[in-house]
Amino acid sequence: MTFSSLGSMLSGGSGIELLMDDLGHALSTSGPSTHMLGGGNPAHIPQMEKVWESRLHEMMDDPAVLRRTLGIYDPPRGNPSVLESLAALLRNEFGWPVGPEHIAVTPGGQTAFYFLFNLFGGKRPDGSPGRILFPLIPEYIGYANQGLEAGMFTSVRPEIKITDSHFFKYAIDFDRIPLTPDIAAMCVSRPTNPSGNVISDCELNRLEAMASKAGIPLIIDNAYGWPFPGIMFSDAKPLWTDHTVHVMSLSKFGLPGTRTAFVIAPPEIAAAVSSMMAVTGLANGNFGQAITGPLIASGEITRLSREVIRPYYLAKRDAALKVIAEVFPDNIPYRLHKSEGALFLWLWLENSRLTSRELYDRLKQRGVIVVPGEFFFFGDNDHAWRHRYECLRISFAMDDPDVRAGLEIIAEEITGAY
C-alpha cells in the first residue's frame, strides 16, 4: 500500500506524537504515584465545575436547547447567536469594531492554526513559496508539524535577558526578523506556551506595524489570554487592527473536551476559515457553543475569567515558586522564565551536563512527568545552539501536593546534572 507524499507526511509521526505516546506509556506504567507536571490540561477548578454542572442541567431541562445542541447542524461558521454575542462582547470589552462576519468557529485551536497556517503558507498561485514566521521561540509544540509543505516554518531566536539571579525573560530580537518576500504571515502566542512569556505591548505594536507594512497578517494565539480564560499575570492590552488575526479557545477556560475555538479576523479571512471548515468537517460541534453561549451573551465569561480563573492560577503559580525557592539548591545555576501567564514554569539549566531529554527520562523513572524543552525550538535549524537542550516545561496546574512532590524530586535530579 502506497501513501501519497502528503499522506506520508501527515502519518509519519511527529515530535508531539512521540512525546504524547511516551507520556501515555509513562502514566500507564507508573501508577497512581505519578506526578503529572508535563501536560497542558487545565486544572479542575471547583467553582468552574459548578458552572458546567449548572449549565448542563439548564440544557437538559430545555428540550428545544437540547434538540438544537444534539440534533441539528450549525452553519460551518458557527452558531449565529453565539457569533453575534461574541462580537458584542469584543466591542464592549475592547472597543473592537467587529461583527459576526469577523468570526469563525473551529473544533479547537489546533484546527484553527492548521487552517490559518495553510491558508497563508505554502506554494502561492505564482509558484513562489510562502512561509510562516515565528518571531520568538520557544513556541507551542503543537504548531511544529502543521505545515502541509516542508520548510513552511521559520523562527527567530530570542534575546535572553537575565532579570535576577534565578530568573530571566525572552524578548524579541527585531534585528534578526527577516521580513523577506517569502514571509506570508507571522504568529505569536500571548501568553506563550511553554515559557509563560507575555510579549509587551510595545513588542506587539511593533510586530503589527511590520506586518502592516509587509501586507501580511499577524496571528495571535490567545489560548491563555484575554478575554477568556485570562490567565495573564502582567499588564498587557489586546490589539486589533486590519492585519491581526486572533484565535481564542474554550480549552483553558475549562472545557478542553468540547474542542471549541474562535477565529477573529478580517471578514475575508474568517470566511476562508469557514469554507475550510465546511470542506474538512462539514460543521463544528455544537456542545461548547451551547454551554458557553449564555455566558458570552451576559459577559459572565469575562467575569469568571477575571474573578475565578486568573486568581486560581496566580495562587498556584505563587505556591510553585515558593516551593522552588525552598527546595532548589541555591548553588545550582538554574533560572526560571519570568512567569507572566499560562500554566507553566520554564526552567533553564544553563551548561547542564544532561540534556532536557535525558533529564526527562531520569525524572520519568522517578514518577515525575515534565516536557523536554527541545521540542519547542522548531523552525530554527541550528542544532548546535545549546540553549534549546537546556530547558524543561513544568506545569503547576495539578494539585498543590503533587506539584510540591514533583518539584522536590526535580530539585534532587538537577543537583546531579552539574
State pLDDT tens for residues 278-306.
999 988 999 999 999 999 999 999 999 99
Backbone angles phi, psi at 224, to 5 degrees: -115, 0
DSSP symbol at 306? I
User: pLDDT tens digit string along 220-263?
Assistant: 999 999 999 999 999 899 999 999 999 999 999 999 999 999 99
Q: Which residues contact 159 (CB under 8 A, 6 or more apart)?
A: 170, 171, 172, 173
CA separation for the pair 337, 164 (Å, rounded): 10
Residue 313 CB coordination number (10 Å): 26
All three cell numbers of 416: 546531579
**CATH code for the domain of 106:** 3.40.640.10
Task: For residues 40 and 148, state if they share a domain.
Answer: no
With residues binned 3-state (H G I as helix, E B as strand, rest as coil), the percentages for the chain, rounded to 5, are 45, 15, 35
- Looking at 252, 268, 303, the residue that finishes a domain is 303
DSSP 388-406: GGSEEEEE--S-HHHHHHH
Q: What is the pTM of this model?
A: 0.93
DSSP symbol at 232? B
In this structure, is residue 271 part of a structural domain? yes
Mean of all residue pLDDT scores within the chain: 92
Task: For residues 311 and 400, state if they share a domain.
Answer: yes
In this structure, is residue 344 part of a structural domain? yes
pLDDT at residue 189 is higher than 90: yes
In this structure, is residue 58 part of a structural domain? no
All three cell numbers of 250: 474554550
Task: For residues 28 and 116, state if they share a domain.
Answer: no
**CATH code for the domain of 28:** 3.90.1150.10
Place of cell 453561549: 293
In this structure, is residue 278 part of a structural domain? yes
Confidence of residue 52 (pLDDT cuts 50, 70, 90): very high
- Looking at 270, 303, 336, the residue that finishes a domain is 303
Residue type, 204: L
Instruction: Give SS3 for 395.
Output: strand
Task: For residues 310 and 286, state if they share a domain.
Answer: no
Alpha-helical runs (H) found in 299-399: 300-304, 310-327, 356-365
Task: For residues 224 and 125, state if they share a domain.
Answer: yes
Task: For residues 261 and 314, state if they share a domain.
Answer: no
Backbone angles phi, psi at 100, to 5 degrees: -55, -30
β-strands 183-189, 129-134 pairing: parallel
The domain total for the chain is 2
Return the HEC string of 48-105: HHHHHHHHHHHHHCCHHHHHHHHHCCCCCCCCHHHHHHHHHHHHHHHCCCCCHHHEEE
pLDDT at residue 330 is higher than 60: yes
- Looking at 258, 274, 303, the residue that finishes a domain is 303
State the pLDDT at residue 2. 78
Place of cell 456542545: 287
Task: For residues 151 and 277, state if they share a domain.
Answer: yes
pLDDT at residue 180 is higher than 90: yes
CA separation for the pair 109, 79 (Å, rounded): 17
Task: For residues 152 and 274, state if they share a domain.
Answer: yes
Domain extent at residue 111: 74-303
In this structure, is residue 66 part of a structural domain? no
CA separation for the pair 57, 256 (Å, rounded): 19
**Contact indicator for 143, 175 with CB cutoff of 8 Å:** no
Instruction: Give SS3 for 309.
Output: helix
User: pLDDT tens digit string along 92-108?
Assistant: 999 999 999 999 999 99
Instruction: Give SS3 for 249.
Output: strand
Rg of the chain (C-alpha set): 21
Least confident of 94-103, 144-153, 188-197, 224-233: 144-153
Task: For residues 220 and 340, state if they share a domain.
Answer: no
Backbone angles phi, psi at 330, to 5 degrees: -70, -20
**Using a CB cutoff of 8 Å and minimum separation of 24, what contacts does 159-165 make?**
160/387, 162/335, 163/338
CA-closest candidate to residue 36, choices 301, 396, 338, 408: 396
Task: For residues 27 and 93, state if they share a domain.
Answer: no
CA-closest candidate to residue 220, choices 269, 286, 293: 269
All three cell numbers of 301: 465569561
Place of cell 509587551: 200
In this structure, is residue 16 part of a structural domain? yes
Task: For residues 277 and 375, state if they share a domain.
Answer: no
Task: For residues 279 and 142, state if they share a domain.
Answer: yes
In this structure, is residue 53 part of a structural domain? no
pLDDT at residue 151 is higher than 60: yes
**Contact indicator for 81, 100 with CB cutoff of 8 Å:** no
In this structure, is residue 68 part of a structural domain? no
